[in-house]
């Protein structure tokens, strides 16, 4: 048997205990590092989950249980903001070309309105939310009524939005061809004769503005830009177009039985205007002026003659003629007085927010046909009332707050 090497010393009990404690400490340190690392990974994953999944999929609102998620809402806000920016740029360009001095009130008012909308991100964001809720309610109501948009009609509408209408009738234009005529010519020598003059006028069809290939190219480029800038997908873009068509179909269904006639009167008036800031002396002068006009009418002077001379209204040149109108077109005080009058009768002095009036009814019709504009306005009003009722009868929950508004891009 070999002898034990006595040059190698066995660890003492104390050293063995110390080594054991050191190994345990290292094990605990490694375990702590591992747990810390795992917690960091979990926190990072949770943050990513929150940012990439939970927040985007959280609702900003719901309509009868149908949720409007944050990501789709924010994409829509960006899209609508981009549309306003483009409209503003177009109006500014048109104004620069046609009205560089800024004298046209139309361009100025449109530009100011668009600038105001863009300067208030919260107002724009809330407006978009309201629109998305309405679109959801309209889709639900349309489905209840069996209303839908034919895919072919949707495609035509999308093409129309891009200016591509392959089935449209070509518009004739004038292109050169020969027409012969004669004119009298006197020479420098005083000799008079005739000569032939040729001009050209031949109608020819206008070609479609661009081909289907060109339309497809522009369509793809536009949709790619929209998705890149706002996040709105092609499917969402087409759904927006479909929503507009569904809204029209629903409005037609809701208003199909609306009367196309109404009680109307034809009237003239004399207006002596009184501003909100009028002094007591100015009010007194206006009062005396309208009373003098009424006295003249009572003395037998013609209404239109007095109106031309006295009225402050733009209708004065036409003897105060207001044309035909039905109920709901004039301020309440004016309307109440006017519809009580008989044909040929004029009123006493009527006070409204505009000043002092004298009204004379010249014709009445209990069932006068509405013109296209008036009928359209009544249908629009009736549909808005329908939507208000639909909102009231629906379960709408809003979880929106300002943190849901997407950041406004620099310069936009």
Closest CA relative to residue 115, chosen from 89, 94, 95: 89
Determine the pLDDT at residue 5: 53
Give the span between the Cα atoms of 124 and 220, in whole angstroms. Answer: 27
b (16+ CB within 10 A) / e for 130-163 = eebbbbbbbbebbeeeebebeeeebebebbeeee
Taking a C-beta distance cutoff of 8 angstroms, is the pair 58, 399 a contact?
yes
* CA distance linking residue 112 with residue 268, whole number of Å: 35
Span 123-146, average pLDDT: 97
In the predicted structure, residue 198 carries a pLDDT above the cut 50:
no
Helix and strand counts by DSSP (H, E) for the chain: 12, 11
End-to-end CA distance of the chain: 94
- Position 105 scores a pLDDT of 81
pLDDT tier, 336 (very low <50, low <70, confident <90, very high otherwise): very high
User: What confidence tens digit (pLDDT) does each residue in 354-377 have?
Assistant: 999 999 999 999 999 998 988 999
pTM of the model: 0.69
Q: DSSP state, 36?
A: H
C-alpha to C-alpha distance for 67 and 90, rounded to whole angstroms: 35
Question: What is the predicted pLDDT for the residue at 411?
Answer: 54
Per-residue confidence at 100, pLDDT binned at 50, 70, 90? confident
Provide mean pLDDT across the span 250-266: 95
pLDDT at 11: 64
Q: What is the pLDDT of residue 35?
A: 74
Strands annotated E in 101-230: 172-175, 179-186, 192-199, 202-205
Cα–Cα–Cα angle for 297, 302, 307, rounded to 5 degrees: 80
**pLDDT grade for 6, boundaries at 50, 70 and 90:** low
41-55, 85-99, 245-259, 281-295, range with the lowest pLDDT: 41-55
Q: Residue 188 — very low, low, confident or very high, per pLDDT cuts 50/70/90?
A: very low
Residue 412 pLDDT level (bands cut at 50, 70, 90): low
Check whether 46 has a pLDDT greater than 80: no
Evaluate if residue 187 carries a pLDDT over 60: no
66 three-state secondary structure: strand
Note the pLDDT of residue 107.
83
The whole-number pLDDT of residue 104 equals: 78
pLDDT score of 388 more than 70: yes
Do residues 311 and 302 make contact, with C-beta atoms less than 8 angstroms apart? no
Q: 370-394 burial by CB neighbour count: b if 16+ within 10 A, else e?
A: beeebbeebbeeebeebbeebeeee
61-75, 98-112, 145-159, 298-312: least confidently modelled range = 98-112
Q: Name the phi and psi angles at 149, rounded to 5.
A: -105, 125
Say if CB 249 and CB 138 are below 8 A apart: no
pLDDT digits (tens, 9 = 90+) for 84-93: 999 999 988 8
More confident residue, 377 or 4: 377
**pLDDT over threshold 70, residue 200:** no
């Amino acid at each position: 048997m070999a002898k034990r090497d006595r040059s190698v010393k066995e660890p003492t009990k104390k050293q063995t205990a110390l080594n054991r404690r050191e190994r345990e400490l290292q094990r605990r340190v490694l375990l702590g590092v591992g747990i810390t690392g795992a917690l960091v990974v979990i926190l990072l994953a949770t943050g990513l989950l929150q940012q990439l999944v939970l927040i985007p999929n959280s609702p900003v609102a719901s309509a009868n249980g149908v949720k409007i998620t944050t990501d789709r809402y924010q994409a829509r806000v960006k899209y609508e903001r981009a549309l306003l920016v483009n409209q503003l740029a177009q109006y500014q360009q048109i104004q620069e070309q046609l009205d560089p001095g800024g004298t046209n009130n139309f361009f100025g008012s449109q530009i100011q309105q668009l600038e105001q909308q863009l300067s208030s991100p919260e107002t724009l964001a809330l407006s978009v939310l309201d629109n998305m809720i309405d679109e959801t309610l309209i889709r639900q109501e349309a489905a209840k009524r069996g209303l839908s948009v034919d895919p072919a009609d949707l495609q035509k509408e999308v093409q129309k939005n891009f200016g591509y209408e392959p089935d449209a009738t070509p518009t004739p234009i004038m292109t050169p061809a020969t027409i012969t005529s004669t004119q009298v010519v006197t020479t420098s020598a005083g000799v008079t004769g005739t000569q032939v003059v040729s001009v050209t006028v031949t109608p020819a069809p206008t070609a479609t503005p661009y081909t289907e290939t060109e339309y497809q190219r522009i369509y793809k480029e536009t949709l790619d830009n929209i998705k890149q800038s706002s996040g709105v997908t092609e499917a969402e873009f087409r759904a927006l177009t479909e929503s507009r068509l569904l809204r029209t179909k629903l409005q037609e269904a809701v208003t199909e039985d609306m009367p196309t006639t109404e009680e109307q009167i034809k009237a003239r008036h004399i207006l002596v205007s009184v501003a909100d800031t009028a002094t007591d002396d100015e009010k007194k002068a206006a009062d005396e002026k309208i009373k003098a006009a009424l006295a003249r009418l009572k003395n037998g002077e013609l209404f239109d003659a007095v109106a031309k001379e006295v009225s402050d209204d733009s209708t004065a040149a036409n003897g105060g003629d207001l044309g035909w109108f039905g109920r709901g077109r004039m301020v309440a005080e004016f309307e109440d007085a006017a519809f009580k009058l008989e044909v040929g009768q004029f009123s006493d002095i009527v006070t409204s927010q505009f000043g002092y009036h004298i009204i004379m009814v010249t014709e009445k019709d209990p069932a006068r046909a509405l013109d296209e504009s008036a009928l359209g306005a009544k249908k629009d009003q009736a549909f808005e009332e329908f939507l208000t009722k639909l909102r009231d009868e629906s379960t709408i929950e809003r979880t929106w707050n300002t943190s849901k508004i997407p950041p406004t891009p620099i310069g936009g």
